[in-house]
Chain A
Amino acid sequence: MRRIIAFLKEYRNSMPGLMGLGIMVFFMVSAIFAPFVAPYDPHQMYKPLEHPNSDHLLGTNDIGQDILSELIYGSRVSLFIAFFVSAVSCIIGTALGLLSGYYERMGFFLMRIVDGFLAIPRLPLIIVIVAFLRPSIWNLIFIFILFGWPFTARIIRSEVLSLRNRPYVDAARMLGARDFYILGRHILPNVVPLIIVQLIIEARHVILAESGLSFLGLGDPTAKSWGMILHYAFEYPTIFISEIWKWWMLPPGLCITFTILSLMFISYSLEELINPRLRGVTRV
Protein backbone atom coordinates (compact mmCIF):
# COMPACT_ATOMS: atom_id res chain seq x y z
CA MET A 1 0.00 0.00 0.00
CA ARG A 2 2.78 2.41 0.88
CA ARG A 3 4.42 1.53 -2.40
CA ILE A 4 1.26 2.44 -4.28
CA ILE A 5 1.06 5.83 -2.58
CA ALA A 6 4.73 6.49 -3.29
CA PHE A 7 4.10 5.46 -6.86
CA LEU A 8 1.17 7.84 -7.23
CA LYS A 9 3.21 10.65 -5.71
CA GLU A 10 5.89 10.16 -8.28
CA TYR A 11 3.32 9.84 -11.06
CA ARG A 12 2.03 13.28 -10.08
CA ASN A 13 5.32 14.81 -11.21
CA SER A 14 4.76 13.73 -14.77
CA MET A 15 2.80 16.44 -16.57
CA PRO A 16 1.91 14.39 -19.69
CA GLY A 17 0.87 11.52 -17.46
CA LEU A 18 -1.57 13.73 -15.56
CA MET A 19 -2.97 15.19 -18.79
CA GLY A 20 -3.46 11.73 -20.21
CA LEU A 21 -5.17 10.55 -17.05
CA GLY A 22 -7.46 13.62 -17.10
CA ILE A 23 -8.56 13.04 -20.69
CA MET A 24 -9.12 9.36 -20.01
CA VAL A 25 -11.23 10.04 -16.94
CA PHE A 26 -13.32 12.51 -18.97
CA PHE A 27 -14.07 9.91 -21.65
CA MET A 28 -14.65 7.16 -19.12
CA VAL A 29 -17.16 9.24 -17.19
CA SER A 30 -19.05 10.18 -20.31
CA ALA A 31 -19.08 6.54 -21.42
CA ILE A 32 -20.29 5.17 -18.10
CA PHE A 33 -22.93 7.85 -17.53
CA ALA A 34 -23.91 8.15 -21.20
CA PRO A 35 -27.68 7.95 -20.57
CA PHE A 36 -27.47 10.89 -18.15
CA VAL A 37 -24.95 12.97 -20.07
CA ALA A 38 -26.30 12.59 -23.60
CA PRO A 39 -29.12 14.99 -24.46
CA TYR A 40 -30.95 12.52 -26.74
CA ASP A 41 -31.27 8.87 -27.61
CA PRO A 42 -28.69 8.42 -30.39
CA HIS A 43 -31.11 6.32 -32.45
CA GLN A 44 -33.97 8.81 -32.24
CA MET A 45 -34.43 10.73 -35.51
CA TYR A 46 -35.05 14.46 -35.74
CA LYS A 47 -34.80 16.91 -38.60
CA PRO A 48 -31.83 15.73 -40.73
CA LEU A 49 -28.66 17.72 -41.38
CA GLU A 50 -29.27 20.50 -38.92
CA HIS A 51 -26.42 22.88 -38.27
CA PRO A 52 -25.33 23.21 -34.67
CA ASN A 53 -27.93 25.07 -32.65
CA SER A 54 -29.14 25.26 -29.10
CA ASP A 55 -31.23 22.07 -29.46
CA HIS A 56 -28.50 20.04 -31.15
CA LEU A 57 -25.09 21.31 -30.08
CA LEU A 58 -23.31 19.44 -32.88
CA GLY A 59 -26.23 19.32 -35.30
CA THR A 60 -27.78 16.16 -36.71
CA ASN A 61 -26.67 13.64 -39.32
CA ASP A 62 -28.27 12.68 -42.61
CA ILE A 63 -31.01 10.66 -40.95
CA GLY A 64 -31.59 13.18 -38.21
CA GLN A 65 -29.75 11.65 -35.26
CA ASP A 66 -28.16 13.98 -32.73
CA ILE A 67 -24.41 13.85 -33.33
CA LEU A 68 -23.36 14.80 -29.79
CA SER A 69 -25.44 11.95 -28.39
CA GLU A 70 -23.96 9.62 -30.97
CA LEU A 71 -20.48 10.63 -29.86
CA ILE A 72 -21.20 10.07 -26.19
CA TYR A 73 -22.74 6.66 -26.79
CA GLY A 74 -19.92 5.94 -29.25
CA SER A 75 -17.33 6.33 -26.50
CA ARG A 76 -19.09 3.43 -24.77
CA VAL A 77 -18.61 1.09 -27.69
CA SER A 78 -15.05 2.16 -28.53
CA LEU A 79 -13.76 2.09 -24.96
CA PHE A 80 -15.57 -1.15 -24.11
CA ILE A 81 -14.01 -2.96 -27.04
CA ALA A 82 -10.60 -1.50 -26.26
CA PHE A 83 -10.48 -2.41 -22.59
CA PHE A 84 -12.24 -5.73 -22.90
CA VAL A 85 -9.87 -6.89 -25.62
CA SER A 86 -6.76 -5.64 -23.87
CA ALA A 87 -7.82 -7.21 -20.58
CA VAL A 88 -8.51 -10.63 -22.09
CA SER A 89 -5.46 -10.69 -24.33
CA CYS A 90 -3.26 -9.60 -21.42
CA ILE A 91 -4.65 -12.37 -19.24
CA ILE A 92 -4.01 -14.97 -21.94
CA GLY A 93 -0.65 -13.47 -22.85
CA THR A 94 0.47 -13.31 -19.22
CA ALA A 95 -0.54 -16.89 -18.49
CA LEU A 96 1.21 -18.24 -21.57
CA GLY A 97 4.18 -15.93 -21.05
CA LEU A 98 4.64 -17.16 -17.48
CA LEU A 99 4.42 -20.81 -18.49
CA SER A 100 6.66 -20.50 -21.51
CA GLY A 101 9.24 -18.54 -19.55
CA TYR A 102 9.29 -21.07 -16.75
CA TYR A 103 9.09 -24.32 -18.71
CA GLU A 104 11.76 -24.27 -21.36
CA ARG A 105 10.40 -26.90 -23.73
CA MET A 106 6.86 -25.61 -23.66
CA GLY A 107 8.23 -22.10 -24.16
CA PHE A 108 10.13 -23.16 -27.23
CA PHE A 109 7.00 -24.43 -28.99
CA LEU A 110 4.78 -21.57 -27.85
CA MET A 111 7.30 -19.03 -29.01
CA ARG A 112 7.37 -20.52 -32.51
CA ILE A 113 3.60 -19.95 -32.66
CA VAL A 114 4.13 -16.42 -31.38
CA ASP A 115 6.81 -15.89 -34.04
CA GLY A 116 4.23 -16.82 -36.64
CA PHE A 117 1.76 -14.26 -35.32
CA LEU A 118 4.40 -11.56 -35.04
CA ALA A 119 5.72 -12.14 -38.54
CA ILE A 120 2.32 -11.46 -40.14
CA PRO A 121 1.39 -7.78 -40.40
CA ARG A 122 -1.55 -7.50 -38.06
CA LEU A 123 -3.96 -4.98 -39.62
CA PRO A 124 -4.09 -6.22 -43.25
CA LEU A 125 -4.78 -9.75 -42.07
CA ILE A 126 -7.49 -8.57 -39.69
CA ILE A 127 -9.12 -6.68 -42.58
CA VAL A 128 -9.16 -9.83 -44.69
CA ILE A 129 -10.57 -12.00 -41.90
CA VAL A 130 -13.23 -9.48 -40.88
CA ALA A 131 -14.27 -9.15 -44.52
CA PHE A 132 -15.01 -12.87 -44.57
CA LEU A 133 -16.70 -13.09 -41.17
CA ARG A 134 -19.95 -11.30 -40.49
CA PRO A 135 -19.02 -7.92 -39.06
CA SER A 136 -20.21 -7.81 -35.47
CA ILE A 137 -18.75 -6.50 -32.25
CA TRP A 138 -18.00 -9.97 -30.89
CA ASN A 139 -16.32 -11.06 -34.10
CA LEU A 140 -14.09 -7.99 -33.92
CA ILE A 141 -13.32 -8.66 -30.28
CA PHE A 142 -12.45 -12.26 -31.03
CA ILE A 143 -10.05 -11.34 -33.78
CA PHE A 144 -8.37 -8.56 -31.81
CA ILE A 145 -7.76 -10.97 -28.94
CA LEU A 146 -6.48 -13.63 -31.32
CA PHE A 147 -3.85 -11.22 -32.60
CA GLY A 148 -3.27 -9.39 -29.34
CA TRP A 149 -1.95 -12.02 -26.91
CA PRO A 150 1.31 -12.95 -28.67
CA PHE A 151 2.90 -9.55 -27.98
CA THR A 152 2.15 -9.76 -24.28
CA ALA A 153 3.26 -13.40 -24.13
CA ARG A 154 6.61 -12.57 -25.70
CA ILE A 155 7.29 -9.62 -23.40
CA ILE A 156 6.26 -11.47 -20.23
CA ARG A 157 8.29 -14.51 -21.21
CA SER A 158 11.51 -12.59 -21.64
CA GLU A 159 11.07 -11.07 -18.19
CA VAL A 160 10.29 -14.45 -16.63
CA LEU A 161 13.44 -15.89 -18.20
CA SER A 162 15.51 -13.48 -16.16
CA LEU A 163 13.37 -13.68 -13.02
CA ARG A 164 13.40 -17.46 -12.72
CA ASN A 165 17.16 -17.52 -12.21
CA ARG A 166 17.11 -15.02 -9.36
CA PRO A 167 18.47 -16.42 -6.11
CA TYR A 168 15.17 -15.88 -4.31
CA VAL A 169 13.46 -18.18 -6.80
CA ASP A 170 16.12 -20.84 -6.19
CA ALA A 171 15.66 -20.27 -2.47
CA ALA A 172 11.91 -20.82 -2.74
CA ARG A 173 12.58 -23.99 -4.66
CA MET A 174 14.86 -25.20 -1.88
CA LEU A 175 12.14 -24.48 0.65
CA GLY A 176 10.02 -27.06 -1.12
CA ALA A 177 7.73 -24.76 -3.07
CA ARG A 178 5.78 -26.09 -6.04
CA ASP A 179 6.21 -24.57 -9.50
CA PHE A 180 2.82 -22.89 -9.46
CA TYR A 181 3.45 -21.41 -6.05
CA ILE A 182 6.73 -19.93 -7.30
CA LEU A 183 5.06 -18.58 -10.43
CA GLY A 184 2.22 -16.99 -8.50
CA ARG A 185 4.09 -15.71 -5.51
CA HIS A 186 7.56 -14.83 -6.71
CA ILE A 187 7.36 -14.27 -10.44
CA LEU A 188 3.91 -12.85 -11.22
CA PRO A 189 4.13 -9.91 -8.75
CA ASN A 190 7.37 -8.87 -10.38
CA VAL A 191 5.90 -8.71 -13.89
CA VAL A 192 2.77 -6.75 -12.90
CA PRO A 193 4.27 -3.38 -13.94
CA LEU A 194 4.96 -4.80 -17.38
CA ILE A 195 1.41 -6.10 -17.65
CA ILE A 196 -0.04 -2.67 -16.84
CA VAL A 197 1.99 -0.98 -19.54
CA GLN A 198 1.08 -3.72 -21.98
CA LEU A 199 -2.60 -3.33 -21.10
CA ILE A 200 -2.50 0.32 -22.13
CA ILE A 201 -0.48 -0.24 -25.28
CA GLU A 202 -2.91 -2.94 -26.36
CA ALA A 203 -5.95 -0.73 -25.67
CA ARG A 204 -4.41 1.99 -27.81
CA HIS A 205 -3.85 -0.43 -30.62
CA VAL A 206 -7.39 -1.79 -30.47
CA ILE A 207 -9.02 1.66 -30.52
CA LEU A 208 -7.07 2.54 -33.63
CA ALA A 209 -7.77 -0.79 -35.31
CA GLU A 210 -11.46 -0.71 -34.47
CA SER A 211 -11.83 2.85 -35.79
CA GLY A 212 -9.92 1.96 -38.92
CA LEU A 213 -12.00 -1.11 -39.61
CA SER A 214 -15.27 0.70 -38.94
CA PHE A 215 -14.19 3.52 -41.20
CA LEU A 216 -13.57 0.99 -43.96
CA GLY A 217 -17.08 -0.36 -43.41
CA LEU A 218 -15.92 -3.53 -41.69
CA GLY A 219 -17.26 -2.60 -38.27
CA ASP A 220 -20.56 -3.61 -36.73
CA PRO A 221 -23.16 -1.54 -38.61
CA THR A 222 -25.58 -1.63 -35.68
CA ALA A 223 -23.08 -0.38 -33.08
CA LYS A 224 -22.44 3.32 -32.84
CA SER A 225 -18.69 3.54 -32.39
CA TRP A 226 -16.62 6.58 -33.29
CA GLY A 227 -15.32 4.76 -36.33
CA MET A 228 -18.86 4.03 -37.55
CA ILE A 229 -19.86 7.70 -37.21
CA LEU A 230 -16.86 8.58 -39.34
CA HIS A 231 -17.80 5.90 -41.82
CA TYR A 232 -21.36 7.17 -42.31
CA ALA A 233 -20.16 10.75 -42.50
CA PHE A 234 -17.62 9.88 -45.12
CA GLU A 235 -20.26 8.08 -47.19
CA TYR A 236 -22.44 11.17 -47.32
CA PRO A 237 -21.99 12.55 -50.88
CA THR A 238 -21.38 16.24 -50.22
CA ILE A 239 -19.56 15.91 -46.90
CA PHE A 240 -16.54 17.97 -47.98
CA ILE A 241 -18.35 20.39 -50.26
CA SER A 242 -20.54 21.88 -47.58
CA GLU A 243 -19.58 22.84 -44.07
CA ILE A 244 -21.12 19.82 -42.34
CA TRP A 245 -17.82 17.92 -41.95
CA LYS A 246 -16.87 20.41 -39.27
CA TRP A 247 -19.40 19.00 -36.82
CA TRP A 248 -19.97 15.57 -38.30
CA MET A 249 -16.48 14.32 -39.10
CA LEU A 250 -14.17 16.42 -36.99
CA PRO A 251 -15.56 15.57 -33.51
CA PRO A 252 -15.31 11.75 -33.75
CA GLY A 253 -11.85 12.15 -35.28
CA LEU A 254 -10.80 14.34 -32.38
CA CYS A 255 -12.28 11.90 -29.88
CA ILE A 256 -10.18 9.09 -31.32
CA THR A 257 -7.08 11.27 -31.44
CA PHE A 258 -7.43 12.43 -27.87
CA THR A 259 -8.10 8.95 -26.54
CA ILE A 260 -5.00 7.60 -28.25
CA LEU A 261 -3.00 10.58 -27.07
CA SER A 262 -4.10 10.13 -23.47
CA LEU A 263 -3.24 6.42 -23.53
CA MET A 264 0.17 7.23 -24.99
CA PHE A 265 0.85 9.83 -22.33
CA ILE A 266 -0.17 7.42 -19.60
CA SER A 267 1.91 4.54 -20.91
CA TYR A 268 4.98 6.71 -21.48
CA SER A 269 4.95 8.14 -18.00
CA LEU A 270 4.28 4.71 -16.49
CA GLU A 271 7.13 3.23 -18.45
CA GLU A 272 9.39 6.00 -17.30
CA LEU A 273 8.46 5.30 -13.70
CA ILE A 274 8.77 1.55 -13.98
CA ASN A 275 11.98 1.46 -15.95
CA PRO A 276 14.56 3.39 -13.92
CA ARG A 277 16.95 3.47 -16.85
CA LEU A 278 14.60 5.81 -18.72
CA ARG A 279 14.20 8.12 -15.77
CA GLY A 280 15.16 11.69 -16.48
CA VAL A 281 16.04 10.93 -20.06
CA THR A 282 12.69 11.26 -21.79
CA ARG A 283 11.01 13.49 -19.26
CA VAL A 284 9.09 16.10 -21.26
Chain B
Amino acid sequence: MIEVENLKKYFSTGILRKRHIKAVNGVSFQIERGGTLGLVGESGCGKTTMGKSLLRLIEPTAGKIIFDGIDLVQLKKKELRRLRPRMQMIFQDPDASLNPRMKIGDSIAEPLKLQGGLNKVEIKERVLELIETVGLNPEHVNRYPYQLSGGQNQRVVLARVLAVNPDFIIADEPTSSLDVSVQAQILNLMQDLRREFHLTLLFISHDLEVVRHMSDRIAVMYQGKIVEIGSVNEIFDGARHPYTNTLIAPVLSEDQLIYGDMKNAVDYSSGCVFYQRCPFSAGMCKKKEPEMVDIGKGHWVLCNRVS
Protein backbone atom coordinates (compact mmCIF):
# COMPACT_ATOMS: atom_id res chain seq x y z
CA MET B 1 0.00 0.00 0.00
CA ILE B 2 2.63 2.47 1.05
CA GLU B 3 6.32 1.97 0.75
CA VAL B 4 8.88 4.44 2.05
CA GLU B 5 12.47 4.25 0.94
CA ASN B 6 15.31 6.19 2.54
CA LEU B 7 13.14 9.20 3.35
CA LYS B 8 15.10 12.21 4.57
CA LYS B 9 14.16 15.61 5.82
CA TYR B 10 16.92 18.02 6.81
CA PHE B 11 16.29 21.47 8.18
CA SER B 12 19.10 23.92 7.73
CA THR B 13 19.78 26.67 10.20
CA GLY B 14 22.29 29.47 10.30
CA ILE B 15 23.11 31.93 7.54
CA LEU B 16 26.89 31.97 7.40
CA ARG B 17 27.64 28.52 8.70
CA LYS B 18 24.92 26.18 7.53
CA ARG B 19 24.05 23.42 9.92
CA HIS B 20 21.67 20.63 9.11
CA ILE B 21 19.26 19.22 11.61
CA LYS B 22 18.50 15.72 10.44
CA ALA B 23 14.91 15.42 11.59
CA VAL B 24 14.26 12.37 9.45
CA ASN B 25 17.43 10.60 8.48
CA GLY B 26 16.94 7.81 6.01
CA VAL B 27 13.76 6.02 7.02
CA SER B 28 12.45 2.98 5.16
CA PHE B 29 9.39 0.88 5.88
CA GLN B 30 6.25 -0.38 4.28
CA ILE B 31 2.67 -0.83 5.35
CA GLU B 32 0.46 -3.44 3.75
CA ARG B 33 -3.08 -2.70 2.73
CA GLY B 34 -5.28 -2.83 5.81
CA GLY B 35 -2.30 -2.96 8.14
CA THR B 36 -1.47 -0.63 10.98
CA LEU B 37 2.05 0.45 11.73
CA GLY B 38 2.60 2.03 15.11
CA LEU B 39 5.42 4.53 15.28
CA VAL B 40 6.88 5.23 18.73
CA GLY B 41 9.68 7.39 19.97
CA GLU B 42 10.35 10.15 22.45
CA SER B 43 9.26 13.68 21.62
CA GLY B 44 11.52 15.43 19.16
CA CYS B 45 12.70 12.26 17.48
CA GLY B 46 11.08 13.20 14.17
CA LYS B 47 7.80 11.28 14.29
CA THR B 48 5.58 14.18 13.30
CA THR B 49 8.04 15.50 10.73
CA MET B 50 8.11 12.08 9.14
CA GLY B 51 4.32 11.87 9.08
CA LYS B 52 4.01 15.26 7.44
CA SER B 53 6.79 14.51 4.96
CA LEU B 54 4.96 11.36 3.90
CA LEU B 55 2.07 13.50 2.75
CA ARG B 56 4.35 16.25 1.49
CA LEU B 57 2.85 18.74 3.92
CA ILE B 58 6.56 19.25 4.51
CA GLU B 59 8.68 18.75 1.40
CA PRO B 60 11.05 15.83 2.01
CA THR B 61 14.73 16.40 1.25
CA ALA B 62 15.25 13.03 -0.38
CA GLY B 63 13.77 9.58 -0.68
CA LYS B 64 10.88 7.76 -2.26
CA ILE B 65 7.31 7.51 -1.05
CA ILE B 66 5.42 5.00 -3.12
CA PHE B 67 1.70 5.09 -2.53
CA ASP B 68 -0.29 2.54 -4.47
CA GLY B 69 2.43 2.39 -7.11
CA ILE B 70 2.84 6.17 -7.46
CA ASP B 71 5.93 7.99 -6.23
CA LEU B 72 4.55 10.99 -4.32
CA VAL B 73 7.88 12.81 -4.28
CA GLN B 74 7.92 13.06 -8.07
CA LEU B 75 4.32 14.28 -8.38
CA LYS B 76 3.54 17.77 -9.63
CA LYS B 77 1.51 20.04 -7.39
CA LYS B 78 -1.69 19.56 -9.37
CA GLU B 79 -1.45 15.77 -9.51
CA LEU B 80 -0.63 15.69 -5.83
CA ARG B 81 -3.71 17.75 -5.02
CA ARG B 82 -5.90 15.28 -6.85
CA LEU B 83 -4.38 12.30 -5.12
CA ARG B 84 -4.34 13.80 -1.64
CA PRO B 85 -7.89 13.04 -0.53
CA ARG B 86 -6.96 9.34 -0.58
CA MET B 87 -4.49 10.03 2.21
CA GLN B 88 -5.51 11.83 5.35
CA MET B 89 -3.94 13.02 8.54
CA ILE B 90 -5.37 13.34 12.03
CA PHE B 91 -3.53 15.85 14.13
CA GLN B 92 -2.56 15.97 17.76
CA ASP B 93 -4.72 18.92 18.78
CA PRO B 94 -8.34 18.38 17.73
CA ASP B 95 -9.37 21.93 18.64
CA ALA B 96 -6.76 23.40 16.30
CA SER B 97 -7.66 20.98 13.52
CA LEU B 98 -10.99 22.70 12.95
CA ASN B 99 -11.37 26.23 11.67
CA PRO B 100 -12.68 28.16 14.71
CA ARG B 101 -14.95 30.25 12.49
CA MET B 102 -16.70 27.35 10.80
CA LYS B 103 -19.62 25.39 12.18
CA ILE B 104 -19.07 21.68 12.72
CA GLY B 105 -21.45 20.83 9.91
CA ASP B 106 -19.62 23.12 7.50
CA SER B 107 -16.28 21.59 8.43
CA ILE B 108 -17.56 18.11 7.67
CA ALA B 109 -19.28 19.29 4.50
CA GLU B 110 -16.13 20.97 3.24
CA PRO B 111 -14.48 17.89 1.71
CA LEU B 112 -17.79 16.93 0.08
CA LYS B 113 -18.10 20.37 -1.49
CA LEU B 114 -14.47 20.31 -2.61
CA GLN B 115 -14.93 16.97 -4.33
CA GLY B 116 -18.14 18.05 -6.01
CA GLY B 117 -20.78 15.78 -7.47
CA LEU B 118 -23.31 16.15 -4.66
CA ASN B 119 -26.10 18.68 -4.37
CA LYS B 120 -26.97 20.55 -1.20
CA VAL B 121 -29.52 18.07 0.07
CA GLU B 122 -27.23 15.11 -0.55
CA ILE B 123 -24.39 16.85 1.24
CA LYS B 124 -26.63 17.51 4.22
CA GLU B 125 -27.68 13.88 4.36
CA ARG B 126 -24.12 12.64 4.06
CA VAL B 127 -22.98 14.98 6.86
CA LEU B 128 -25.67 13.61 9.19
CA GLU B 129 -24.69 10.09 8.23
CA LEU B 130 -21.03 10.76 9.01
CA ILE B 131 -21.90 12.46 12.27
CA GLU B 132 -23.78 9.37 13.33
CA THR B 133 -20.92 7.09 12.24
CA VAL B 134 -18.53 8.82 14.62
CA GLY B 135 -21.04 8.87 17.45
CA LEU B 136 -22.12 12.49 17.59
CA ASN B 137 -25.63 13.95 17.71
CA PRO B 138 -27.20 15.65 14.70
CA GLU B 139 -27.69 18.76 16.84
CA HIS B 140 -23.91 19.25 16.92
CA VAL B 141 -24.01 20.36 13.29
CA ASN B 142 -24.70 23.96 14.16
CA ARG B 143 -22.13 24.23 16.95
CA TYR B 144 -18.73 25.82 16.75
CA PRO B 145 -15.55 23.92 17.71
CA TYR B 146 -15.08 25.98 20.89
CA GLN B 147 -18.48 24.76 22.10
CA LEU B 148 -17.42 21.11 21.96
CA SER B 149 -14.97 19.12 24.05
CA GLY B 150 -11.65 17.87 22.75
CA GLY B 151 -12.99 14.36 22.38
CA GLN B 152 -16.02 15.55 20.45
CA ASN B 153 -13.84 17.66 18.20
CA GLN B 154 -11.65 14.66 17.47
CA ARG B 155 -14.79 12.80 16.42
CA VAL B 156 -15.61 15.68 14.09
CA VAL B 157 -12.11 15.42 12.63
CA LEU B 158 -12.66 11.70 12.09
CA ALA B 159 -15.95 12.41 10.33
CA ARG B 160 -14.26 14.94 8.05
CA VAL B 161 -11.51 12.44 7.27
CA LEU B 162 -14.02 9.70 6.47
CA ALA B 163 -15.96 12.04 4.18
CA VAL B 164 -13.33 11.62 1.46
CA ASN B 165 -13.18 7.81 1.72
CA PRO B 166 -9.45 7.65 2.29
CA ASP B 167 -7.29 4.55 1.88
CA PHE B 168 -4.49 5.62 4.14
CA ILE B 169 -4.61 7.63 7.36
CA ILE B 170 -1.79 9.01 9.44
CA ALA B 171 -2.90 9.54 13.01
CA ASP B 172 -0.41 11.79 14.77
CA GLU B 173 -0.92 11.27 18.49
CA PRO B 174 -4.69 11.59 18.05
CA THR B 175 -5.39 11.06 21.72
CA SER B 176 -2.46 12.64 23.53
CA SER B 177 -4.34 15.85 24.32
CA LEU B 178 -7.42 14.04 25.61
CA ASP B 179 -8.49 12.68 28.99
CA VAL B 180 -7.74 9.05 29.61
CA SER B 181 -11.41 8.01 29.57
CA VAL B 182 -12.00 9.85 26.30
CA GLN B 183 -8.78 8.42 24.88
CA ALA B 184 -10.16 4.92 25.10
CA GLN B 185 -13.39 5.93 23.37
CA ILE B 186 -11.56 7.56 20.47
CA LEU B 187 -9.14 4.65 20.11
CA ASN B 188 -11.97 2.11 20.04
CA LEU B 189 -13.84 4.23 17.54
CA MET B 190 -10.75 4.32 15.36
CA GLN B 191 -10.40 0.56 15.59
CA ASP B 192 -14.03 0.08 14.54
CA LEU B 193 -13.72 2.54 11.66
CA ARG B 194 -10.48 0.93 10.52
CA ARG B 195 -12.20 -2.45 10.24
CA GLU B 196 -15.36 -1.05 8.70
CA PHE B 197 -13.65 1.01 6.00
CA HIS B 198 -10.56 -1.20 5.47
CA LEU B 199 -8.18 1.61 6.31
CA THR B 200 -4.41 1.44 6.27
CA LEU B 201 -3.06 3.28 9.26
CA LEU B 202 0.17 4.85 10.43
CA PHE B 203 -0.33 5.43 14.11
CA ILE B 204 2.14 7.81 15.70
CA SER B 205 2.40 7.95 19.46
CA HIS B 206 4.80 8.09 22.37
CA ASP B 207 2.50 5.90 24.40
CA LEU B 208 3.52 2.27 24.01
CA GLU B 209 0.35 0.80 25.43
CA VAL B 210 -1.76 2.78 22.99
CA VAL B 211 0.39 1.68 20.09
CA ARG B 212 0.25 -1.94 21.24
CA HIS B 213 -3.54 -1.72 21.33
CA MET B 214 -3.83 -0.17 17.87
CA SER B 215 -1.18 -1.70 15.66
CA ASP B 216 -0.05 -4.98 14.18
CA ARG B 217 3.49 -3.80 13.50
CA ILE B 218 5.60 -1.36 15.48
CA ALA B 219 8.49 0.87 14.43
CA VAL B 220 10.70 2.48 17.05
CA MET B 221 12.22 5.78 16.07
CA TYR B 222 15.23 7.50 17.55
CA GLN B 223 16.91 10.63 16.26
CA GLY B 224 15.30 10.50 12.85
CA LYS B 225 16.06 6.82 12.31
CA ILE B 226 14.00 3.71 12.74
CA VAL B 227 16.05 1.59 15.10
CA GLU B 228 13.79 -1.42 15.26
CA ILE B 229 10.72 -2.59 13.40
CA GLY B 230 8.69 -5.74 13.76
CA SER B 231 5.34 -7.25 14.66
CA VAL B 232 3.80 -6.31 18.01
CA ASN B 233 4.76 -9.64 19.56
CA GLU B 234 8.30 -9.53 18.25
CA ILE B 235 8.83 -6.04 19.65
CA PHE B 236 7.25 -6.67 23.03
CA ASP B 237 8.70 -10.11 23.61
CA GLY B 238 11.86 -10.15 21.56
CA ALA B 239 13.19 -6.63 21.31
CA ARG B 240 16.84 -6.58 20.39
CA HIS B 241 17.70 -2.90 20.30
CA PRO B 242 18.78 -1.46 23.68
CA TYR B 243 16.63 1.63 23.09
CA THR B 244 13.51 -0.46 22.51
CA ASN B 245 14.30 -2.44 25.62
CA THR B 246 14.38 0.64 27.80
CA LEU B 247 11.12 1.82 26.29
CA ILE B 248 9.17 -1.36 26.94
CA ALA B 249 10.71 -2.60 30.19
CA PRO B 250 8.20 -2.13 33.03
CA VAL B 251 11.01 -1.79 35.56
CA LEU B 252 14.51 -0.99 34.45
CA SER B 253 17.46 -2.84 35.88
CA GLU B 254 20.66 -0.93 36.56
CA ASP B 255 22.36 -1.83 33.30
CA GLN B 256 19.37 -0.84 31.20
CA LEU B 257 19.25 2.77 32.37
CA ILE B 258 19.98 5.37 29.79
CA TYR B 259 21.19 8.81 30.66
CA GLY B 260 21.15 12.22 29.08
CA ASP B 261 18.72 13.49 26.55
CA MET B 262 18.72 13.91 22.84
CA LYS B 263 20.16 17.42 22.93
CA ASN B 264 23.48 15.91 23.93
CA ALA B 265 23.33 13.80 20.87
CA VAL B 266 22.54 16.27 18.10
CA ASP B 267 26.02 16.54 16.65
CA TYR B 268 27.02 13.06 15.77
CA SER B 269 28.66 12.77 12.42
CA SER B 270 29.52 9.13 12.19
CA GLY B 271 28.70 5.95 14.03
CA CYS B 272 25.52 4.88 15.73
CA VAL B 273 22.85 7.49 16.54
CA PHE B 274 22.35 5.92 19.94
CA TYR B 275 26.07 5.68 20.75
CA GLN B 276 26.20 8.37 23.46
CA ARG B 277 23.29 7.04 25.48
CA CYS B 278 23.63 3.33 24.87
CA PRO B 279 24.44 1.26 27.97
CA PHE B 280 26.21 -1.32 25.80
CA SER B 281 28.12 0.96 23.47
CA ALA B 282 31.44 -0.45 22.45
CA GLY B 283 34.35 1.28 20.77
CA MET B 284 33.26 0.34 17.30
CA CYS B 285 29.83 1.96 17.75
CA LYS B 286 31.43 5.38 17.69
CA LYS B 287 32.85 4.85 14.21
CA LYS B 288 30.78 2.16 12.58
CA GLU B 289 27.33 3.10 11.46
CA PRO B 290 25.05 0.10 11.98
CA GLU B 291 22.89 -1.24 9.19
CA MET B 292 19.37 -2.64 9.33
CA VAL B 293 19.59 -6.38 9.94
CA ASP B 294 16.75 -8.80 9.30
CA ILE B 295 16.55 -11.24 12.18
CA GLY B 296 13.57 -13.12 10.80
CA LYS B 297 9.78 -12.79 10.68
CA GLY B 298 10.06 -9.28 9.32
CA HIS B 299 11.87 -8.11 12.42
CA TRP B 300 14.64 -5.60 11.61
CA VAL B 301 17.14 -4.07 14.01
CA LEU B 302 19.62 -1.25 13.62
CA CYS B 303 22.39 -2.19 16.02
CA ASN B 304 26.04 -3.19 15.77
CA ARG B 305 25.59 -5.87 18.38
CA VAL B 306 23.07 -7.70 16.26
CA SER B 307 24.30 -9.39 13.16
Contacts and interface: CB of A to CB of B under 8 A. Distances in A.
Is chain B a partner of chain A in the same complex?
yes
B273 to A, nearest CB: 28
A186 to B, nearest CB: 5
B100 interface: yes
Contact of B100 (A171, A172, A174, A190): A190
Nearest to A175: B111
Nearest to B56: A173
B110 interface: yes
A174 B114 CA distance: 11
Nearest to B81: A176
Nearest to B82: A176
A173 B110 contact: no
B287 interface: no
A168 B52 CA distance: 14
Range class of the B interface residue count: 20 to 34
A178 B81 CA distance: 8
A167 to B, nearest CB: 4
Interface string B83-106: 011011101110011111100000
A171 B87 CA distance: 11
Interface string A174-189: 1111100100011001
A55 interface: no
Contacts of B92: 167
B55 interface: yes
B111 A168 contact: no
B115 A176 contact: yes
B96 A168 contact: yes
Interface in B86-141: 87-89, 91-93, 96-101, 110-111, 114-115
Given A176-B85, A186-B99, A190-B101, A170 B114 contact: no
A166 interface: yes
Contacts of A166: 96
B85 A167 contact: no
B4 interface: no
A175 B114 contact: yes
B160 interface: yes
Given A167-B93, A176-B111, A177-B114, 4 more contacts: A167-B92, A168-B97, A171-B89, A190-B100
Interface pairs A-B: 6 shortest CB-CB: A167-B91, A167-B97, A175-B111, A176-B85, A168-B99, A167-B96
Interface of B: 52, 55, 57, 81-82, 84-85, 87-89, 91-93, 96-101, 110-111, 114-115, 157, 160, 164
